[in-house]
Structure 1
């Protein structure tokens, strides 16, 4: 498995919806509207992304994505400024995945497939017509869920800003050993709220981009650039500037997160997305390529996913109590495996895990991801 993070994306210009989707000079699509209540079909290949509709009415939208290519792909619905309305990652060849997203406001959006999970993707204008009442305003349980999760995000955002400030000070003072000790415990706050960070265009890449994902003309910044400086290359002439930029970007993220109007479906999709992050980065050891502190990130993603489900629990308990019991069981199984690898206040390094232990983690994450994939459908009812 391999993983590419999002890159800053330029929104394609144009006022009218595209009726043909293009990639590498090819691709087709249709402009039909989806049948009332039916899913919008998306057929993804390595060179095209065909969507069965270019318009839809405001409200809950269901995209049904089929990967008919040879590469792992992703699907996104972007609002203006590349704000992510919804996403589904890690769609392996031959697999079908669903994305259910609430879009209450009319306007121009973009539906996008990303073969290989890289680059700008294959984009199509997508128009939302009419308007719909936001379910947070009409459903008390959903309003309570988003308020609960917003408190979780606020607490972890505040901790992220505080700990990043301390980490940056250590880097700028040249205190390498202390900065190394603070690195993983600082990042765990970011990993808990990563779905929120991903809502804001280029902030997630600026803060959390991996060197392996850098494309021509892009600057390597953020946590992972400093990780390389601390563990591999030594502090560089510009390490202090990179550290200052990291803190500026984190503060920007914290400020923007306070204004974000999340939906209950955002929580459902975020809970699943966090475990997709584990499956495609932490389990493989690719996330923390220099420090090998992947299990701290794993714990952060697990914490964030559990928090989102905890906020949704009254809704899920009302709609599918058996699903709640399954989620509780599978969350506990994954946590038990992580706890086995705990050392003091942290964890073993990824390089200290045996192949059998990595395989056990992967199986447990897969077992959790399956019921998580059902949460959005229950929440959407």
Structure 2
């Protein structure tokens, strides 16, 4: 499995789909500018690596496409990189190579000095001798700056502070919804349901840190034994379905009380939950990847017709993720952050154009074919650009 920045187009724990697995595979495959056909012989040769050393690559190689067949001769897992001699840049990687396994380490290099670096799971780090590459090559991989987990400490703290600061507004909006239901004012409840739901959706990247609370607060009926009729279904979507499909007021009141209780519990529990540094950069892509399927696809519409409002909230969540990632993202691709912010702002304007002056959102099912194609296509293009973020910010300790 190999990777290279910005070469591969292609949310979160609630609806984690095959899309995340695909992104991870592509994120690895994207750090190489070469695809080696089966049986194709490329300069490089075989490398056997272990705790004693990181193989013996040729001292000289021609510029162009290169491939090393790397075998892990140690008893622990290893990450293998092509790096600059000082280790400041990496040009290709095998993220995880098991004991006695062999994988290709392929890339395209122009003239200069390089080395192979091996990082073993027991903490051992070894670097090969320098490899002198002669000549020039078109399509050569631009080196990327490796990222350590420690560099993500600041962004993770900043994002957790954002979520913590948002809890009071979320809880207040949900209590307003509960009060509407308690007095049987379903018209007000429909309006306030959307306000509260969007407060939650704007949290964006935090869902993976919410554990089972997210299922209780924002879980869909998919996979439940009785679908939308499952008694154990709770949260915003269960309330949406009930409000727009004539559920008994007593049932809606029960769901409202449970939702407030779950959000209170989540707020109390969140300080004790961990946020994986590697998750944050993935959410920069996942939030809107899921939105493409569930919001634009209409799957997450249980009667309110407000999935475009949710998409708008998801855009805001993505913008916040990029904001906290800026200190580590900008040094690795100075133009990417500005480009993404511009595209997100433009797409947000496009989405909100489907909200009336009175604040009513057009249901996805009422968009005409050209409007759907434009929304889908523009989001697809945006996702291709957002895929560069996890590719650049995958933690690569000691690369």
Could you say which TM-score interval applies, normalised by the shorter chain?
0.5 to 0.7
The answer as to whether partners of 1:197 and 1:253 remain within 8 angstroms in 2 is no
Tell me which residue corresponds to 1:49: none
Tell me if the contact between 1:227 and 1:290 (Cα under 8 Å) persists in the aligned partners.
yes
Runs of 5+ in structure 2 lacking a partner?
1-11, 17-74, 81-93, 104-119, 124-146
Consecutive unaligned residues of structure 1, counting only runs of 5 or more, are 8-31, 43-51, 60-101, 103-133
Residue 349 (structure 1) aligns with: 363
| CA distance 1:41–1:218, change in 2 (3 Å) | farther
C-alpha separation in 2, matches of 1:374 and 1:4? 20
Find the residue that maps to 1:307 and give its secondary structure: helix
What TM-score do you get using the length of structure 1 for normalisation? 0.63
SS at match of 2:78: coil
Cα distance, 1:176–1:250 mapped onto 2, change above 3 Å: same
Aligned 8 A contact 2:209 2:274 in 1: no
The answer on whether the counterparts of 2:209 and 2:275 sit within 8 Å (CA) in structure 1 is no
The one-character-per-residue Cα deviations of 1:58-85 (angstroms, maximum 9, x if unpaired) are 89xxxxxxxxxxxxxxxxxxxxxxxxxx
Q: What TM-score results when the alignment is normalised by the length of structure 2?
A: 0.60
Match for 1:35 among 56, 74, 78? 78
The number of equivalent residue pairs is: 267
**What do the CA deviations read for 1:173-229 (whole angstroms, capped 9, x no partner)?**
210000011111211111122432333332212111223442357722111111122
CA contact (8 A) 1:316 1:375 kept: yes
The answer to whether 1:369 aligns with 2:383 is yes
Partner of 1:17: none
Trace 1:116-155 onto structure 2 (pairs within 5 A): 135-136=149-150, 139=151, 142-155=152-165
Aligned positions of 1:214-253 closer than 5 A: 214-215=224-225, 219-253=232-266
| Preserved contact between residue 167 and residue 182 of structure 1 (Cα < 8 Å) | yes
1:182 aligns with 2:192: yes
Pair 1:250–1:228, CA change in 2 (3 A): same
The equivalent residue for 1:336 is 349
- The match for 1:312 is 325
Matches within 5 A, 1:255-294: 255-294=268-307
Q: Deviations over 1:128-165 (max 9, x none)?
A: xxxxxx834xx3xx333223222221222221111011
Q: Distance in 2 between matches of 1:4 and 1:150?
A: 17
1:254 is matched with: 267
1:323 to 323, 332, 336: 336
Q: Distance in 2 between matches of 1:169 and 1:318?
A: 48
Deviation at 1:354, TM superposition (A): 1.7
1:201 maps to what in 2? 211
Q: Rg larger in 1 or in 2? A: 2
Alignment of 1:57-96 (within 5 A): 57=121
Relative to 1, partners in 2 of residues 1:197 and 1:252: Cα closer, same or farther, differing over 3 Å?
Answer: farther
User: Residue 245 of structure 2: SS of its match in structure 1?
Assistant: helix
Q: Map residues 15-30 of structure 1 onto 2, 5 A cutoff.
A: none
CA contact (8 A) 1:174 1:235 kept: no
User: What displacement does 1:39 show?
Assistant: 2.3
Q: CA deviation at 1:6?
A: 5.1
For the residue of structure 2 that corresponds to 1:199, the secondary structure is helix
Measured at CA, do residues 339 and 242 of structure 1 come closer, stay the same or move farther in structure 2, by a change above 3 Å?
Answer: closer
Mapped to 2, the partners of 1:304 and 1:266 lie a distance apart of: 14
Give the structure 2 partner of residue 296 of structure 1.
309
Quote the Cα distance in structure 2 between the aligned partners of 1:360 and 1:4. Answer: 28
Distance 1:246 1:187 in 2: 11
Q: Is the 8 A contact 1:6 1:204 kept in 2?
A: no
For residues 40 and 292 of structure 1, what CA distance do their matches in structure 2 show?
Answer: 44
Flag the 1:329–1:171 CA change in 2: closer, same or farther, 3 A. Answer: same
How far 1:41 moved relative to its partner?
8.2
Whether contact under 8 Å (1:6, 1:205) holds in the other structure is no
Cα RMSD (Å) of the superposition? 3.0
